[in-house]
Structure 1
Amino acid sequence: MARTGRPKAELILTSDERDQLQRWVRRRKSSQALALRSRIVLAAGDGLTNKDIGELIGCSQPTVRKWRGRFIESRLDGLYDEPRPGRPATITTDEVEDVIVATLEETPANATHWSRTKMAERSGLSRTTIGRIWQAFGLQPHREEGFKFSNDPLFVEKVYDIVGLYLEPPESAVVLSVDEKSQVQALSRSQPAFPMMPGMPEKRTHDYVRNGTTSLFAAMNVDDGTVIASTHRKHRSIEFKKFLQKIDREVPDHLDVHVVCDNYGTHKHPIVKTWMANHDRFHMHFTPTYSSWINQVERLFAEVTRDLLQRSDHRSVQALEKDLRQWVAAWNENPKPFIWTKTAEEILASIGRLLKRTTGPGH
């Protein structure tokens, strides 16, 4: 009597299951393993035996039996790989929480902030583990950023005034963000720099010779990014008035001029006030105290520092001033305005949240 083998459980596909299996077979992004399993189940749904399926698809009968059985037991979900157990976690959630809380609320002995080594000693975890925990929660104890709250009694009014100029400038007017980058040093390195090479950054000596200073006066048009600039060896009220006169010459006569600048004493000197009184088209808008971030020209000074001054090597003030003028001229060939996006309400709300964090309970 012929052996019929173990009776097989009946495998019947619904129309939806058949459609999904056929999509997995055709889809280019399906894994090869999932496509193979789908072909096995489709063939089984057509009534083929395990032996016939193995010969048709090119796989062993045990493989066919495995995925036939997985599909009958769990349907489509049974064709996915089961998660491998892997190595059990060695770091508990309590240990992670302890590291996070200690990082945020404690300081190490004889130090102002945590390092990976110090936290590893405290927690008993490895330095690598501490680094991964900090990275996962976005913590960087080695970094800090400075801030100082304005004590200007007219802070809110000035924020609304200046942000209003940025977002909705007046008609028939130009808005200029104005300031001086004072005491720019002409520095010459004591030795020539070693140029950058593959696998090695540029190298410069840490010591240098000071060859004098100059100040860069700049007025940036917040609409198109163009810059009016001049250099002066000093930055007194006299020099600031000369710079205003230069602005007056370069801005077309039919436009009003709104000047955004800080509260530096030279900007409010009687000499400047007298000049302003005689030039009706000029309007001064002072930023709140300790709020240089609202003056867009500071972004321009950051650009010139990064592009030119950070690695500069100037043997004289004249050479430095020449390079500053050339940098401004190159900038004006392809000016890049800084787009202001935050409204006054958003700025004040953000400052309010920071105040709650720094002056709330426990501070």
Structure 2
Amino acid sequence: MPVPRARQITLTPTDRRKLKALAYSHAAAYQQVIRARIIRDAAHGYSNTKIAARQQVHIDTVRYWRGRYADEGLPGLADRRRTGRPPRFTPVQVAEVKAMACQLPAELAVPLSRWSCPDLAHEAIARGLVPAISASTIRRILAADTIKPWQHQSWIFIRDPDFATKASRVLDLYARTYDGEPLGVDEYVVSSDEKTSIQARCRCHPTLAPGVARMMRVNHEYQRGGALAYLAAYDVHQAHVFSHCSAKTGIIPFMTLVEKVMTQEPYASAKRVFWVVDNGSSHRGQAAIGRLTKRFPNAVMVHTPTHASWLNQVEIFFSIVQRKVVTPNDFTSLDQVEDRLTAFEQHYNATARPFRWKFTPADLEDLMARIERHEQKEQNLQQPPGCDHQPAGLAHAA
């Protein structure tokens, strides 16, 4: 009986390059790597027996994939599509589960603030959408469309009628421009705000440093040692921080910080020093502008839009303080908190560089355009059919 001859394998330059990359890949599936190596050995003239020994597989495996490549080429090395077990849930049932997940529980009279997979499974059964379903199946159904009803994100709608004007003024200052004119070398931009309620929490047991296979350990129980406010002024272009600690916020603590900055050089003799502040009670409105200008004629107060303190660069510095100084909070007294903040200020100023501010006037224009489209869409939904209406501007933002 004649012995069947092995299929002849001849590689094209493209297939040879792809098979080589796959054969030496560390990220591809192991089965795909073995199949690529089998075909490369076959193209080099090795017998099926020799290939089986080299790749440590059965000789029938070599015959199978050698034949598949000879008949179908490189696509033949992929797995065949398998039918698998028939789906237990119809497309309509799957769509109904997804639709329920995209509704607030309160809309369905369910006493929950947000859904979890077990809650959705229980509600789907209770409403008769499916006879039975597990939480893991719900999770797989939602994962197909990246639906995560157990997560939430806070947001706030812009309601300052002069948002674009105020935000543009702040962004221009960051780009060293004011009223269309570039700032001079003797003009500075200072971003200022308060970080309130920094507590002194004295842990009942000492904090343990990290060890081998062990992270830092902080005792959960603590005694309160009071709280203080941390006021900071950040020179946007010089990356220099000035700070002041106070028992509480207010006009006097803020003006104390201003005094600390404006009595130092180069700010004392500067042509203008722009103070970017939010709308907190310590520096709100025209009264705060007049108070600052009266005390320091070369100081110019610039307010960020309402509820837009994210435009204030000092908030970035406060986030650094929160991560590197305040958390985890383990201080024996407020004096220790103040000493740590002061020491960190000196440490930060020694190596600080200006922040890479990425929100540009072009980004602001895109934001305003999206808001206007959103307002227009809402008005179209609320307007009765057949009625004429005028598009609303930013001044009518809800």
TM-score of the superposition, structure 2-length normalised?
0.72
**Quick one: distance in 1 between partners of 2:142 and 2:216?**
29
The alpha-carbon distance between structure 1 residues 352 and 140, as it changes in their structure 2 partners (threshold 3 A), is: farther
RMSD (Å), alpha carbons: 3.7
Q: What SS class does the counterpart of residue 320 from structure 2 fall into?
A: helix
Alignment of 1:171-320 (within 5 A): 171-172=184-185, 173-189=187-203, 191-193=204-206, 195=208, 198=213, 202-206=217-221, 208-209=223-224, 211-252=225-266, 253-254=269-270, 256-268=272-284, 270=287, 273-277=290-294, 279-320=296-337
Alignment of 1:325-336 (within 5 A): 325-336=342-353
Aligned to 2:168: 160
Question: Which is further off, 164-173 or 351-360?
Answer: 351-360
Q: Is the 8 A contact 2:20 2:36 kept in 1?
A: no
Query: Could you list the per-position Cα deviations for residues 287-306 of structure 1 after superposition, in whole angstroms to 9, with x for gaps in the alignment?
Result: 11111111121222222222
Q: Is the 8 A contact 1:238 1:271 kept in 2?
A: no
Q: What SS class does the counterpart of residue 102 from structure 2 fall into?
A: helix
Instruction: Report the Cα offset of residue 145 of structure 1.
Output: 3.2
Aligned to 1:37: 39
Aligned to 2:30: none
The alpha-carbon distance between structure 1 residues 142 and 213, as it changes in their structure 2 partners (threshold 3 A), is: same
Unaligned runs of 5+ in 1: 44-51
Overall identity of the aligned pairs, in %? 25
The alpha-carbon distance between structure 1 residues 11 and 156, as it changes in their structure 2 partners (threshold 3 A), is: same
Aligned to 1:49: none
The alpha-carbon distance between structure 1 residues 81 and 138, as it changes in their structure 2 partners (threshold 3 A), is: closer
**Quick one: distance in 2 between partners of 1:73 and 1:311?**
65
**Quick one: distance in 2 between partners of 1:308 and 1:358?**
46
Alignment of 1:28-67 (within 5 A): 28-29=23-24, 31-40=33-42, 43=45, 53-54=47-48, 57=51, 66=64
**Quick one: distance in 1 between partners of 2:6 and 2:198?**
86
TM-score of the superposition, structure 1-length normalised?
0.78
Aligned to 1:117: 118
- Are 1:19 and 2:13 matched, yes or no? yes
Q: Is the 8 A contact 2:207 2:330 kept in 1?
A: no
Q: Is the 8 A contact 1:34 1:80 kept in 2?
A: no
Letter in 2 for 1:276: T
Q: What SS class does the counterpart of residue 244 from structure 1 fall into?
A: helix
The alpha-carbon distance between structure 1 residues 157 and 37, as it changes in their structure 2 partners (threshold 3 A), is: same
**Quick one: distance in 1 between partners of 2:2 and 2:200?**
97
Q: Is the 8 A contact 1:237 1:272 kept in 2?
A: no
The alpha-carbon distance between structure 1 residues 310 and 142, as it changes in their structure 2 partners (threshold 3 A), is: farther
Q: Is the 8 A contact 1:21 1:42 kept in 2?
A: no
**Quick one: distance in 2 between partners of 1:42 and 1:248?**
80
Match of 1:100 among 98, 109, 113: 98
Aligned to 1:82: 80
Instruction: Report the Cα offset of residue 147 of structure 1.
Output: 2.9
Structure label with greater radius of gyration: 1
The alpha-carbon distance between structure 1 residues 338 and 138, as it changes in their structure 2 partners (threshold 3 A), is: farther
Aligned to 1:127: 135
The alpha-carbon distance between structure 1 residues 299 and 55, as it changes in their structure 2 partners (threshold 3 A), is: closer
Question: Which is further off, 110-119 or 244-253?
Answer: 244-253
**Quick one: distance in 2 between partners of 1:70 and 1:232?**
78
Unaligned runs of 5+ in 2: 26-32, 125-131, 178-182, 383-397
